[in-house]
């Protein structure tokens, strides 16, 4: 979840597939290759886009769209 420093409010993560707000900590993350992405602070993350999903099924659909996500790379925070 993202913190909004101006209000102190915690914003929920959004599923990259359906857009559902995830505020219970059950979101899944994986990385996909994206040559257009440049990380603002850490060059080791250049070319890697973080995907967020609300369920294993949605992560599987996102992974199917990106052949560069290795199986089993999804993780919970």
Q: What is the pLDDT of residue 74?
A: 52
Contacts with 19 (C-beta within 8 Å, 6 or more apart), sequence order: none
Render pLDDT for 32-77 as a digit per residue (tens, 0 to 9).
888 888 889 999 989 988 999 999 999 999 988 875 445 455 555 4
The stretch 29-33 carries a mean pLDDT of 90
Between 6 and 11, the more confident residue is 11
Contacts with 68 (C-beta within 8 Å, 6 or more apart), sequence order: 32, 33
Pairing of strands 13-14, 21-22: antiparallel
Contact 4, 11 (CB under 8 A): yes
Q: H/E element holding 14?
A: strand 13-14
């Amino acid at each position: 979840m993202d913190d909004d420093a101006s209000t102190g409010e915690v914003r929920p993560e959004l599923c990259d597939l359906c857009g559902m707000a995830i505020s219970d900590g059950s979101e899944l993350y994986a990385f996909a290759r994206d040559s257009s992405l440049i990380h603002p602070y850490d060059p080791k993350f250049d070319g890697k886009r973080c995907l967020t999903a609300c369920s294993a099924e949605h992560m599987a659909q996102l992974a199917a769209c990106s052949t560069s996500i290795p199986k089993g790379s999804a993780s919970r925070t």
